[in-house]
Amino acid sequence: MKSRSLTLALLVLALPLAAAPRQDYARQWPLQLSRDDGGAYRVELDPAVYAQAHSAQLRDIDVIDAGGAIVPAEVFAPEQPLARAPQRRSLPWFPLPAAPAGTNKGWELISEVETDGRLRRVEARSTAGDTAKLPQTALLIDASAVRAPIQALQLQWAPGAALDAAYSVEASDDLDHWRSVTSSGRLLDLQRDGQRLVQRRIAFDAVGEQARYLRLTPQDPQRGAQIVAVEAELSATAAGAPLQWRELKGARVQLKDGGVAFEYRLDGRFPIQQADVALPGNHALQWRLDSRDSEDEGWRAQAGPWMAYAVAGQGAGDRSPARQLASASRDRLWRLRASGAVPGEPVLRLGYRPEVVVFLAQGQPPYALVAGSGRAARADSPLSQLVDALRQSRGNDWRPAEASLGAPGDLAGAAALAAPEPERDWRSWLLWAVLVGGALIVVGFAMSLLRSGKAPQA
């Protein structure tokens, strides 16, 4: 394993030191290292870096050495360079009749809900005669007490016959309106020749799922598992890196259909994961949130409909939790639409977790982080493989040494954000010039023959 780590390290060191001019970037931040012998370092991005970044993929964020040469660097999610194990939390659940996929479920859900959203009792009443015979292999999961995105569900079931069951997942905040959730994984419990293969995990996307209630339905009702326990797997980010918020004031816009919307502009390339709406006083409204990166694009749905509320009374108050987006977004433009009249001007709160840049201490210190360019782009590097290899070699507790951002300084400023002029294909231009010149010579020769009245002789 150590030889593998050394090989990857040598591969990174073998990368050419590209000499990208400092004037290709708008600003720079000197990097202060926590130790001189760290080798690899991680630095957390602050709002000023996100505000300066021009690329939607953060490709114009890089690290340079004292001579201005680029050193290997990569942008990581907050938890990636760390070695935290995911947290698990038990969730209440209730069995439901499992109707075949693609058919009406044939039953209605009767529930009793506490004031904080927790389910006290759930009853599934049949609305068709044959649905009463369906096995109770679907699940209604109460995740109302979880305030962090759920990365996956871990399910336990009673031992029995062989199991191979695929499940569909739906999410809801009110038990009435449900939406499909993208998930991967199926439940397996197979045995052969004294060996056992078990798969208990149903995973969501990288952002995770945050809804009050989840519903799991086996695609084949007769092959579902007899579940005995459900656990939510929360990401390491939920425990380690708290959300940071951007609060935006918007402009009221009259829509073509007669409705009203509020439009907002985000001041940087932040990886937005959650959204919340703040209004003065008591309120309860259903919202939809859309986004786009420029005015030339169409609006894309990001969240909703969901209910945001705030209720105060008897010396206490309660408000709805923030809404998890389907996936992280760096769009610049955002739009809120409400289901009814809006009392006041809503403030849109967008939550994100700061990413980190990991870089290799290559070249001559001191180092600086540069950002903001319309013509420079960070080169790909094998740093993610290097981090994994070093963690396997040095143990799961290893992490890159810390670095911090110093006071920013200007480089090329706004001039660095201009797109580069397109490259001119001089060979094509020269060929066309020769062809046009030849054609003009032929035309001139023909005109001279016409004026002289002489025909060319063989």
CB 40 within 8 A of CB 381: no
- Residue 87 burial (10 A CB sphere; 0-12, 13-18, 19+): middle
Residue 2 has pLDDT above 50, yes or no: no
Q: Regarding predicted confidence, which is higher, 408 or 186? A: 408
Please give the share of the chain, as a percent, with pLDDT higher than 90.
Answer: 32
Give 218-245 pLDDT, tens digit per residue. Answer: 888 777 778 889 999 886 554 456 889 9
What is the C-alpha to C-alpha distance for residues 368 and 13, in angstroms, rounded to an integer? 18
CATH architecture designation of domain 87-234? Sandwich (2.60)
pLDDT of residue 406: 95
Q: Regarding predicted confidence, which is higher, 333 or 148? A: 333
Give 309-346 pLDDT, tens digit per residue. Answer: 888 876 656 888 888 887 889 999 999 999 888 888 99
Q: Which residues contact 38 (CB under 8 A, 6 or more apart)?
A: 361, 400, 401, 403
One fold for 87-234 and 244-352: yes
The DSSP-derived string for 117-151 is S-EEEEEEEESSGGGGGS-S-EEEEE-TT--S-EE
Q: Label residue 389 by pLDDT band (50, 70, 90).
A: confident
Residue 164: Cβ within 10 Å count: 14
Amino acid present at 7: T
What is the C-alpha to C-alpha distance for residues 209 and 365, in angstroms, rounded to an integer? 42
Of the ranges 106-110, 145-149, 413-417, 436-440, which one carries the lowest mean pLDDT score?
Answer: 106-110
pLDDT of residue 25: 95
Residue with tokens 């995990």: 201
- Residue 112 burial (10 A CB sphere; 0-12, 13-18, 19+): exposed
Kindly list the domain boundaries of the chain, sorted by start residue: 2-82+355-417, 87-234, 244-352, 427-458
Residue 93 has pLDDT above 70, yes or no: yes
Residue 54 has pLDDT above 60, yes or no: yes
Residue 106 has pLDDT above 60, yes or no: no
Residue 15 has pLDDT above 50, yes or no: no
Report the pLDDT averaged over residues 386-390: 85
pLDDT of residue 64: 95
Give 161-206 pLDDT, tens digit per residue. Answer: 788 888 889 888 877 788 888 887 788 888 888 888 888 899 887 6
Residue 38 has pLDDT above 90, yes or no: no
Report the pLDDT averaged over residues 12-39: 76
pLDDT of residue 257: 80
pLDDT of residue 138: 85
Report the pLDDT averaged over residues 62-81: 87
How far is the CA of 391 from the CAs of 277, 333, 388, 394, in angstroms?
A: 41, 39, 5, 5
Residue 408 has pLDDT above 50, yes or no: yes
Residue with tokens 């004294």: 194
What is the C-alpha to C-alpha distance for residues 384 and 138, in angstroms, rounded to an integer? 39
Q: Label residue 371 by pLDDT band (50, 70, 90).
A: very high
The DSSP-derived string for 337-349 is EESS--SS-PEEE
Residue 415 gets which letter from DSSP? Answer: G
Q: Given its phi and psi angles, is residue 453 left (phi above 0), alpha (psi -120 to 50 degrees) or beta?
A: left
Report the pLDDT averaged over residues 131-160: 80
Picking from 88, 83, 229, 243, the residue whose alpha carbon sits closest to that of residue 152 is 88
What is the C-alpha to C-alpha distance for residues 280 and 295, in angstroms, rounded to an integer? 30
Give 287-309 pLDDT, tens digit per residue. Answer: 999 999 999 999 999 988 888 88
Picking from 166, 220, 163, the residue whose alpha carbon sits closest to that of residue 191 is 163
Whole-structure pTM value: 0.64
Report the pLDDT averaged over residues 12-32: 72
Domain 244-352: CATH class, spelled out: mainly beta
